[in-house]
A = this chain, B = another copy of it.
Amino acid sequence: MFAIQPTSAEPIYRQIVEQLRRMIAGGQLSAGDLLPSVRDVAGFHAINPMTVSRAYGMAETEGLLERLRGKGMAVAATTRGNATQAQRMTLLEPQLQALARHAQELELPSDPVLRRLGRLLED
């Protein structure tokens, strides 16, 4: 369900929240879709349930999810969902800018960087 890297410098709870944000914006998750339970996610990835709970809680605060009593968490009905392509590009912009800056610091020409990214995007 989620791609989680416990070793990453990025905190686990944020990996989950941002992944949710992207999957909802991208339409992979639609309003009303039920999310896996805190216990399931925590058990599957061997992480602390409190961490998953916190991520769900923050996503709820943000309006991405809503709590369905007795059933779990679901994608919020109010979510606009499936944002326009331009809106989704905006979410990627900071990472694109950081990547470009780093490539320049490495004195890498555009071509190999674009080709490598193109290949990764095909998968």
Interfacial residues, chain A to chain B (CB-CB below 8 A): 3, 9-10, 19, 22-23, 25-28, 48, 58, 61, 70, 85, 88-89, 91-93, 95-110, 112-114, 116-118, 120-123
Q: Report how many copies the assembly holds.
A: 4
For the complex, give the distance between the alpha carbons of A78 and B33 in Å. 36
Contacting pair A108 B3 (CB below 8 A)? no
Q: Given A99-B99, A102-B92, A102-B95, are A27 and B121 also a contact pair (CB < 8 Å)?
A: no
Interface of A: prevailing SS: helix
Q: Given A102-B92, A103-B92, are A85 and B112 also a contact pair (CB < 8 Å)?
A: yes
For the complex, give the distance between the alpha carbons of A95 and B121 in Å. 13
